[in-house]
Structure 1
Amino acid sequence: MQLGNVESRLAKNSYEVDEGNTHIEVNQEIARATGTGRMLTKICPAHVYREEADGTISVEFAACLECGLCFQMAAPGSLIWHYPEGAMGVRFREG
């Protein structure tokens, strides 16, 4: 049985997105000073974080897998993260 690559498996998930209520916010000042921003772009399995040309970190919260890795690894105060409100967020379809 072939499982496929990570991208194809993630594409099977579905998401209920609360566009007006992000569950992730980056404190750009602290993230830049601590190197957290660059680290987030490397550790997130869903590639939710992206470093922009001006050095800020953008967040595509709708793609979040809600694993909490970013919150555990981020420098204190650099990231506000919580689970999305009830019935919102990722719905895993495979594995």
Structure 2
Amino acid sequence: MGGGACTVRTTVSERLAANRFTLDEEESHIHVDQALCRSTGTGAAIIAVCPAGVYSERDGEILVDYAACLECGTCRAVAAPGALTWHYPRGGFGVTFREG
């Protein structure tokens, strides 16, 4: 019998918690053009699709919690051209993914 490897199941939340984020307090890697987000509907789209809940809306303005970003790029896929400027954080900052 047996002899195979043991597999331990973990939840998505547990796996995400194993990741580390080094915050760049000097520079956000996400910038939102508020006027374009409003006129194109991009704001509602990025709020709806972001798996990390980075985006929210208050008083008609899109707020960005860039420290929560998983760097997956989903927001870039749905944003209207020019409505969102996104780049990977500069060296040494951002998400360090760990298998958990």
TM-score normalised by the chain length of structure 2: 0.85
CA distance in 1, matches of 2:18, 2:74: 21
- Work out which of the residue numbers 27, 31, 44 in structure 2 matches 1:25: 31
The residue aligned with 2:17 is 11
Equivalenced residues, count: 93
Q: Which ranges in structure 1 are unaligned for 5 or more consecutive residues?
A: none
Larger radius of gyration: 2
AA of the residue aligned to 1:32: R
3-state DSSP of counterpart to 1:58: strand
What RMSD in Å do the two structures reach over aligned CA positions?
A: 1.3
AA of the residue aligned to 1:8: E
Deviation at 1:90, TM superposition (A): 0.3
- Work out which of the residue numbers 90, 96, 100 in structure 2 matches 1:85: 90
Aligned-pair identity in percent equals 54
3-state DSSP of counterpart to 2:45: helix
AA of the residue aligned to 1:10: L
Matched, 1:56 2:64: no
Deviation at 1:72, TM superposition (A): 2.0
Deviation at 1:22, TM superposition (A): 0.4
Runs (4 or more) in structure 1 with deviation over 4 Å come to none
AA of the residue aligned to 1:88: F
